[in-house]
C-alpha cells in the first residue's frame, strides 16, 4: 500500500503488499507486537522501583519475542509471525497469571489474547481461531485453579499489587479495545473503498461499453498497432496490426509483457525507453517515445510509441497506446542530416575554393599582362618568341586549373553513371593522352593489367582519377635519377580491384601524408599545380565507395594504391 507513515513502515516493511486485506492484518499484527513491547518495557521500571527483580528476565524475553514478531512481519512471513504472537502471548500471560498475585489483574490479558487469536485466524481458518480462544480460556482456568507455579512467587507490597492491578486493567482494556476499534476502522475503510471502487467500476463499465465500437473502428481503420498494458498484472493485449508491424502472423500466440517489450528494444534506445516508462508511471498521463523495435526476423523497425497511463490511488493501473511505423520518416531525417553535414562541408570547401581559386587564377593572368607589356616594347624577334612561349605556358597552366575545377564540379553535381568496361583499354587511353607530356619530361609510362579485368563502376570518374595520378607521376619526376618511370598495375583483391600508380619521382615527405588529399595542398615546394589534383582523387573515390592510400620516400618515389569496389570479371578469368 502507498503513503505509509514511518511507524507503519517500521511495522510492515517497505516492500509492496499487493493485497489491501493482507496489508491490513500485517499492520494489526505489528501493532499488537509493538503493544506487547510497550507493556514489557513499562513494567521494568515499575518492578525495579518496588525492588521486584524476579520478572526482569521475562520482560527482556517479551521484548525479544516482540522484535522477532515484527521482523517476520516485515519480511512477509506472516504465518510464522502470527503463530509466535498468539502462542507466546498466551504462554506469557499464563506464566504471570500462575506466578503473580491474583489481585494484580493479570487475568485481564486473557481476554486480549483470546480476541487476538480470534481476529488473526478467523479470516484464515475458523477452527484455529476458535481453538486459540479455547486455549486462552483453558490457560486462564488452569492458572486460577491450579497451584502450579513455574517460579516461586515474589514478595510484593500491597502498593505494588495495587499499581500492577491498575496497569494490567488499563493495558488489558486498551489492548482489547484497540483491536476492536482497529477492526471497526478497517471495516469502515474497506466499505468506503468498495463503494468507491464500485462507483468507478460502474462508470468505467459504462464508458467501456460506449467506447467498444469506437475502439473496434480504430483497430480496423488505423495503421497503428494498438496495445493495452495492465501494469499491476504485467499482462498486455496487442492488436493484429501490432503483430504485423513486428513481423508476426495474426494467428501467432506469444506472451507480451514488460520484459518482452524491453527485450526487443534496440540496445541504443533501451535506457532512454526505460527512463521514459519510469517517468510516465510516476505521474500518469500522456507519454511518447521514438525507438527501434526488433522484428521477428531480427531486423529493427523505427516506431513512434504513444499512449496514456491511468492512475489509481497514485499508482499506475493501465496503459493504453499505439505504435506506428516511422521508418521512412527516420530515413528521411537521416538523409537530411547527412545532406546538411555534406552541405556544411561543401560551404566550407567553397569558401576555401573561392579564395584559393581567385589567387591561382590571378597569378597567371598577372604574368600574362606583364609579358604582354614587355612584348609591346620589344622589337627583338627572339625576345618576342620567348615571351610568347612563356605566355603559352601560363595559358596551359590556367587551362589545367580550369579542367581540374570542372572535374571537381562534375564529381559533386553529376550522379554516378555505372557501366561495365575493360580496365586495360581505359588505362591505355589515359596513357596515350599523356604521350607528349611524358616524352617532353623523359618519363617512361608502362602498365601491367590483366586483359580480362573488367569493372562495373563509373568509367568517367575512374578516368579522372587516373588522369590526376598519372599527371603527378610525370610532372614530379626526379631529374637526379638516370631514368624516370611511371607504372600502372592492377589485379584482383577479393571482389574488388586493386590499382596502383607507381613512380620513382621526387617523393613526398612523411609529415605531409595526412594532408596531401586536402584541397589546395601542395606537398612539394617544386609544385606548380593548383593543389586540387589529389583532393579530386579522394572526393571522386568517395563517390565510388573506394579508398586511396599513399606510400612515398625521396629515394624510391611514390605508390598510390586504389581499391575500387563492384568488380566484375569475365568467365575466362573466373575459370
Residue 219 scores a pLDDT above 50:
yes
Contacts of 122 (CB under 8 A, 6+ apart): 129
| Contact by Cβ (8 Å): 86, 121 | yes
Q: How many CB atoms lie within 10 A of CB 31?
A: 18
Per-residue cell: 342: 555534406
pLDDT confidence tier of residue 571, bands split at 50, 70 and 90 = very low
In the prediction, which pLDDT does 567 show? 56
Rg (CA), the chain: 47
Q: Give me the mean pLDDT over the 149-167 stretch.
A: 76
Residue 529 scores a pLDDT above 60:
no
Spell out the CATH class of 416-575. alpha beta
- The reply to whether 222-325 and 328-414 are identical in fold is no
List the domain boundaries for the chain: 6-195, 222-325, 328-414, 416-575
**Residue range 374-387, pLDDT digits in tens:** 777 777 777 777 76
- What's the mean per-residue pLDDT of the chain? 80
Domain 328-414, CATH 1.10.287 — does that match? Answer: yes
pTM of the model: 0.37
In the prediction, which pLDDT does 503 show? 92
Q: Is 272 helix (H, G, I), strand (E, B) or coil?
A: helix
Per-residue cell: 466: 587516373
The number of residues making up the chain comes to 575
Instruction: Specify the DSSP class assigned to residue 511.
Output: G
> Which of these CATH numbers, 3.30.450.20, 3.30.1490.100, 3.40.50.300, 1.10.10.10, describes 222-325?
3.30.450.20
pLDDT confidence tier of residue 569, bands split at 50, 70 and 90 = very low
Q: Which residue has the higher pLDDT, 569 or 292?
A: 292
Beta partners for residue 307, in sequence order: 287, 321
Q: Give me the mean pLDDT over the 313-318 stretch.
A: 89
**Residue range 452-472, pLDDT digits in tens:** 888 888 888 888 888 888 888
Alpha carbon separation from 249 to 217, 224, 300 (Å, rounded): 21, 16, 17
**Residue range 171-198, pLDDT digits in tens:** 777 777 767 776 777 677 767 777 777 7
CA dist 148 and 145 (Å) reads 9
Grid cell 493504453 is found at 320
Amino acid at each position: 500500500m502507498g503513503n505509509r507513515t514511518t511507524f507503519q513502515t517500521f511495522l510492515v516493511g517497505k516492500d509492496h503488499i499487493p493485497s489491501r486485506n493482507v496489508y491490513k492484518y500485517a499492520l494489526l499484527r505489528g501493532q499488537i507486537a509493538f503493544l506487547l513491547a510497550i507493556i514489557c518495557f513499562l513494567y521494568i521500571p515499575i518492578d525495579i522501583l518496588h525492588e521486584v527483580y524476579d520478572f526482569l528476565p521475562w520482560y527482556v524475553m517479551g521484548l525479544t519475542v516482540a522484535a522477532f514478531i515484527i521482523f517476520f512481519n516485515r519480511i512477509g512471513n506472516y504465518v510464522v509471525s502470527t503463530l509466535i504472537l498468539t502462542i507466546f502471548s498466551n504462554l506469557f500471560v499464563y506464566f504471570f497469571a500462575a506466578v503473580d498475585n491474583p489481585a494484580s489483574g493479570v487475568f485481564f490479558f486473557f481476554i486480549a489474547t483470546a480476541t487476538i487469536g480470534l481476529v488473526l485466524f478467523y479470516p484464515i481458518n475458523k477452527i484455529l481461531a476458535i481453538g486459540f480462544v479455547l486455549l486462552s480460556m483453558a490457560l486462564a482456568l488452569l492458572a486460577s485453579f491450579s497451584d502450579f507455579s513455574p517460579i516461586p512467587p515474589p514478595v510484593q507490597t500491597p502498593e505494588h499489587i495495587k499499581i500492577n492491578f491498575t496497569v494490567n486493567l488499563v493495558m488489558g482494556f486498551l489492548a482489547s479495545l484497540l483491536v476492536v476499534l482497529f477492526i471497526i476502522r478497517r471495516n469502515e475503510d474497506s466499505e468506503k473503498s468498495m463503494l468507491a471502487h464500485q462507483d468507478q467500476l460502474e462508470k468505467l463499465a459504462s464508458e467501456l461499453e460506449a467506447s467498444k465500437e469506437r475502439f473496434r473502428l480504430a483497430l480496423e481503420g488505423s495503421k497503428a498497432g494498438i496495445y493495452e498494458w495492465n501494469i499491476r498484472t504485467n499482462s498486455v493485449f496487442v492488436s493484429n496490426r501490432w503483430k504485423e508491424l513486428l513481423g508476426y502472423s495474426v494467428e501467432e500466440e506469444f506472451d507480451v509483457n514488460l520484459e518482452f517489450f524491453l527485450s526487443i528494444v534496440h540496445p541504443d534506445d533501451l535506457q532512454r525507453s526505460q527512463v521514459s516508462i519510469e517517468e510516465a508511471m510516476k505521474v500518469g498521463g500522456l507519454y511518447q517515445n521514438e525507438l527501434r523495435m526488433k522484428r521477428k526476423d531480427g531486423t529493427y523497425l523505427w516506431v513512434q510509441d504513444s499512449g496514456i497511463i491511468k492512475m489509481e490511488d497514485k499508482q499506475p493501473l493501465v496503459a493504453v497506446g499505439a505504435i506506428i511505423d516511422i521508418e521512412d520518416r527516420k530515413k528521411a531525417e537521416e538523409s537530411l542530416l547527412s545532406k546538411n553535414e555534406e552541405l556544411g562541408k561543401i560551404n566550407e570547401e567553397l569558401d576555401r575554393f573561392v579564395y584559393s581559386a581567385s589567387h591561382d587564377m590571378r597569378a597567371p593572368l598577372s604574368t600574362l599582362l606583364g609579358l604582354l607589356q614587355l612584348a609591346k616594347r620589344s622589337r627583338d624577334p627572339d625576345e618576342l618568341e620567348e615571351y610568347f612561349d612563356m605566355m603559352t605556358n601560363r595559358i596551359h597552366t590556367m587551362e589545367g586549373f580550369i579542367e581540374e575545377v570542372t572535374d571537381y564540379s562534375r564529381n559533386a553535381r553529376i550522379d554516378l553513371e555505372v557501366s561495365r568496361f575493360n580496365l586495360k583499354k581505359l588505362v591505355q587511353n589515359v596513357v596515350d593522352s599523356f604521350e607528349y607530356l611524358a616524352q617532353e619530361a623523359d618519363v617512361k609510362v608502362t602498365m601491367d593489367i590483366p586483359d580480362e579485368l573488367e569493372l562495373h563502376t563509373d568509367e568517367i570518374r575512374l578516368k579522372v582519377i587516373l588522369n590526376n595520378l598519372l599527371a603527378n607521376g610525370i610532372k614530379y619526376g626526379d631529374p637526379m635519377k638516370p631514368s624516370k618511370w611511371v607504372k600502372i598495375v592492377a589485379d584482383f583483391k577479393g571482389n574488388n580491384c586493386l590499382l596502383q600508380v607507381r613512380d620513382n619521382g621526387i617523393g613526398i615527405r612523411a609529415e605531409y601524408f595526412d594532408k596531401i588529399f586536402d584541397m589546395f595542398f601542395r606537398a612539394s615546394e617544386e609544385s606548380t599545380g593548383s593543389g586540387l589534383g589529389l583532393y579530386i582523387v579522394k572526393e571522386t573515390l568517395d563517390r565510388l565507395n573506394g579508398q586511396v592510400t599513399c606510400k612515398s620516400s625521396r629515394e624510391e618515389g611514390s605508390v598510390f594504391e586504389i581499391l575500387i569496389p563492384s568488380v566484375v570479371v569475365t568467365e575466362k578469368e573466373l575459370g
